[in-house]
Structure 1
Amino acid sequence: MSDVTSIAAPKTLSKADTVRFCAAFLIFNLCWMLGLQIVAAVLLPQRLADIAPDSKDAIFGVLNSATALASLVSNLVVGNLSDRTRSIFGRRSPWIASGGVIAGISLFLIGILPDGATIGVSYCVAMVGLNMMIAPIVASLADRIPDNMRGTMSAFISAGTLVGSSLGQIVGALFITTQVPGFILAGIVMGISGLAAVIVWPRERSSKDMPEVKGSLKDLLASFRPPTHGARDFWLAFVGRSLLLFSYYMILNYQLYILQDYIGQTTEESAATISTMSLVLMVVSLISALAAGPISDKIGRRKIPVVIASLLLAIGYALPWLLQSPLGMILFSAIGGFGYGMYGSVDQALNVDVLPNEEEAGKDLGILNIATTLGQMVGPIVTSAIVVATGSYGLVFPTAIVLVALACVFIMMIKKVK
């Protein structure tokens, strides 16, 4: 662990600390994604379909726009403030623990609120709480993890996220006709994710002895400025990450509607297909994520997994477009999921590698994490806009293919990372 008077990452970790960090990153990401996907991928779309069947796509798009904005602002603000936090519990841990409680309560409330407006407010608060956890967790990669182990840690982050996503869809499908217990479970799992992280990983040392960041309100506001000097690779990574995640979540977050409205399945049939897709996705993405990250560390390369992942994602997007069947969506989960797991395994490591100034890791990684938020929230907005404009999902898949190809181009332009 790093010295409290220094923000530089340690050169090495003990075996015990390595295991605890791996476990903490895995458990944290599994839990928050499990809770979120129970709601975002299944229960929220179905709830909107129940209360507003004629305008569900438009409402879902508006909700995603609002939560994207809430996530964008909170990720940047919390990343910056966690850099400045001085407490006996460290800089990151207080934000992580409290964010889980806020996110868990507000995620549960979505299941009992009566209309789209109040659901939207609660969903936005949930995203604020979620980003109170994610921004400090990712910043810890820069100040607590050696640079030659970041690919491995990123693999555990990705594995937890992917398994949590798959399990969330499976669990959500089980509650599709009895939704309130599903929302309760989602809130509980989300709430314990932050607490689990700070308990499992090696205790963060007190930051009270670190030099305080002093200055006026004007100085504080100025500290939120995005990096500019030596930040070319940083912004290429931001754009590439955003585009790739746009493409993936265009389909993933709309899979229920795609199965029902594009392929023609009933509610029960679509729930069964989502369960199958999720099992497939969980297996293939776990294998690719846990394999690609350590291999990336060993060979010292980040770009090769990105190129392979982009190709696999493009193939995965094409299959449901060409087949227009449940099999096409299952193959999307298999091939696209393997590619996404491979990309996710080096994603956070690549982000840390392109930081222009590690002294501002929390703030700058908060900006890069906005790309994740934008992908998860704006991707479905793009899908919603296409469906509302054309009345069909036919153009969603080729649009996703174009976006992932562009993402690969931007990431390959990065010079700092091999």
Structure 2
Amino acid sequence: MDTAKKPEEIKLSKSGRIRFTAGFFVCAILWMTGLAIVSAVLLPQHLRDIAGEAASTTIFGYVNAATAIASLVANLLFGNLSDRTRSRFGRRTPWIFWGAILAGVTLFLIGVVDNAWLIGIIYCVCMFGLNMMLAPVIATLSDRVPDDMRATMSAFNSAGTTVGSSLGTLIGAKFITIQIPGFATAGILMGLAGIATIVVWPREQSSKDLPPVEGGFKEFLASFRPPMHNARDFWLAFTGRTLLIFSYYMILNYQLYILESYIGQSKTAAAATISIMSVVTMVVALIGSLTSGAISDKLGRRKIPVNIASLLLAIGYLLPWVMKTSFSMILFAGFAGLGYAVYGAVDQALNVDVLPNKEEAGKDLGILNIATTLGQTAGPIVTSALVGMAGYNLVFPVAIAFAVLACIFIQMIRSVK
């Protein structure tokens, strides 16, 4: 394992800073737009067209459960493998490229098949490809970005994912009646994410001359052990991140079903509402991400934005629960979208700050990124179960409770202000 540079040893030119900033934003907006086209609109509608209204909710929950497991494994696996990679293209670059290609191809194939089991399998492979790309991308924050820029980089990454989520939902709504071109668009955007990142970022140095990785297969398996020594803040950040993202995706991934089944809109009316929600989220995401990230770096503080984010998310979940109108979902898009963007602006910076061992940044950030994929994929599973038990009325208060708990766990972190 090579020794990672200390934060104060990482130097970037002005052009290098600009290229990293642009690269994080471009990567995030491309992969998230592609994924959101499918996950937020086309996949749930595709399942509803195949299986009907009642069965599609349950199937969607099972599919998300399977992809959650795939994401857990993939994030840890590829973060570790990229730490150990020795190639003339560097440690991270090969995984970013091939992960994007695999994710893009399989994202398109989801729309081609009409069997729910096969859809689930292909979607799991897609998650392997996506995390093959993302784990090395996030590890680059520790490898190549100085500590006084990490919140800014995290902010641009967050802005890209939040805008991409909105843009993807908007695009997906346009393809709701002609789905194959929508799935193709999603796959192309996903594939371009890794290629664009490699092109925009400064070229990664060769890792062939780094010290070779010691040990055999037994040592390789042992290297997957999660950090335990001086890792209290690491696990608090993991838990807080999981709960907060969990709460957001409980609502976000079910917004189409909420509009159709809870509020009572038709398919076309729901698509129109989602389009408005997407524009609202896109605007507030840019404002929230870029301003709070820069302020966090300037003040050197991460917890204040988390407090603000939790409050905004809770308000966003409360409004549809109380009002039960299409306008309340637009308000959800504004409040919750802003809250998620504010949190995301400091999210990755906070994660790097709590790493117990910078030499294993790829593996440990991979574990922390499990919190993201766990929240994104398991949140809808809980929603599915709650809807089955008591309808959508129980979903919103549970999401509020998770957001509050997330804030509490992150406030307990000692090593970060």
AA aligned opposite 1:102: L
- Hey, what does 1:22 align to over in structure 2? 21
Preserved contact between residue 57 and residue 384 of structure 2 (Cα < 8 Å): yes
Extract unaligned runs of 5+ from structure 1. none
Pairwise mapping of residues 111-126 of structure 1 onto structure 2 (< 5 A)?
A: 111-126=111-126
Q: CA deviation at 1:8?
A: 4.0
Deviations 1:369-406 (A, max 9, x none): 0000001000000100101122x100000000000000
- Hey, what does 1:373 align to over in structure 2? 373
Q: CA deviation at 1:5?
A: 7.3
SS class of match (1:226): coil
Measure, in 1, the Cα distance between the counterparts of 2:216 and 2:99.
27
Measure, in 2, the Cα distance between the counterparts of 1:338 and 1:216.
47
- Hey, what does 2:12 align to over in structure 1? 13
Measure, in 2, the Cα distance between the counterparts of 1:22 and 1:149.
9
Preserved contact between residue 5 and residue 209 of structure 1 (Cα < 8 Å): no
Pairwise mapping of residues 314-393 of structure 1 onto structure 2 (< 5 A)?
A: 314-390=314-390, 392-393=391-392
Measure, in 1, the Cα distance between the counterparts of 2:384 and 2:4.
47
AA aligned opposite 1:373: T
Deviations 1:225-271 (A, max 9, x none): 00000000000000000000110000000000000000000000000
- Hey, what does 2:81 align to over in structure 1? 81
Preserved contact between residue 142 and residue 352 of structure 2 (Cα < 8 Å): yes
Could you tell me the percent identity over the aligned residues? 64
Measure, in 1, the Cα distance between the counterparts of 2:222 and 2:101.
30
Preserved contact between residue 4 and residue 358 of structure 2 (Cα < 8 Å): no
Question: Which TM-score applies when normalising by structure 2?
Answer: 0.98
AA aligned opposite 1:193: A
Preserved contact between residue 99 and residue 130 of structure 2 (Cα < 8 Å): yes
Question: Which TM-score applies when normalising by structure 1?
Answer: 0.98
Measure, in 2, the Cα distance between the counterparts of 1:107 and 1:121.
11
Preserved contact between residue 10 and residue 144 of structure 2 (Cα < 8 Å): no
- 1:155 aligned onto 2:122: no
- Hey, what does 2:33 align to over in structure 1? 34
- 1:64 aligned onto 2:64: yes
Preserved contact between residue 6 and residue 210 of structure 1 (Cα < 8 Å): no
Deviations 1:318-358 (A, max 9, x none): 00000000111000011111111100000000000000000
- Hey, what does 1:408 align to over in structure 2? 407
- Hey, what does 2:243 align to over in structure 1? 243
SS class of match (1:395): helix
- 1:279 aligned onto 2:279: yes
SS class of match (2:301): coil
Preserved contact between residue 110 and residue 119 of structure 1 (Cα < 8 Å): yes
- Hey, what does 1:91 align to over in structure 2? 91
- Hey, what does 1:303 align to over in structure 2? 303
- Hey, what does 1:105 align to over in structure 2? 105
Measure, in 2, the Cα distance between the counterparts of 1:81 and 1:344.
26
AA aligned opposite 2:124: C
Preserved contact between residue 3 and residue 359 of structure 2 (Cα < 8 Å): no
- Hey, what does 2:50 align to over in structure 1? 51
AA aligned opposite 1:15: K
SS class of match (1:331): helix
Q: CA deviation at 1:181?
A: 0.3
Deviations 1:32-79 (A, max 9, x none): 000000000000000011000130011000000000000000100000
Preserved contact between residue 67 and residue 123 of structure 2 (Cα < 8 Å): yes
Measure, in 2, the Cα distance between the counterparts of 1:72 and 1:387.
25
Q: CA deviation at 1:216?
A: 2.0
Q: CA deviation at 1:6?
A: 5.1
Measure, in 1, the Cα distance between the counterparts of 2:184 and 2:380.
24
AA aligned opposite 1:100: A
Measure, in 2, the Cα distance between the counterparts of 1:227 and 1:7.
19
Extract unaligned runs of 5+ from structure 2. none
Residue correspondences, number:
414
Measure, in 2, the Cα distance between the counterparts of 1:244 and 1:132.
23
Deviations 1:283-334 (A, max 9, x none): 0011000000010000010000000110010001000000000111000011
Pairwise mapping of residues 168-179 of structure 1 onto structure 2 (< 5 A)?
A: 168-179=168-179
Preserved contact between residue 76 and residue 367 of structure 1 (Cα < 8 Å): yes
Measure, in 1, the Cα distance between the counterparts of 2:6 and 2:44.
44
Q: CA deviation at 1:12?
A: 2.9
Measure, in 2, the Cα distance between the counterparts of 1:120 and 1:261.
23
Measure, in 1, the Cα distance between the counterparts of 2:3 and 2:146.
17
- Hey, what does 1:291 align to over in structure 2? 291
Q: CA deviation at 1:7?
A: 4.2
SS class of match (1:210): coil
Q: CA deviation at 1:13?
A: 1.4
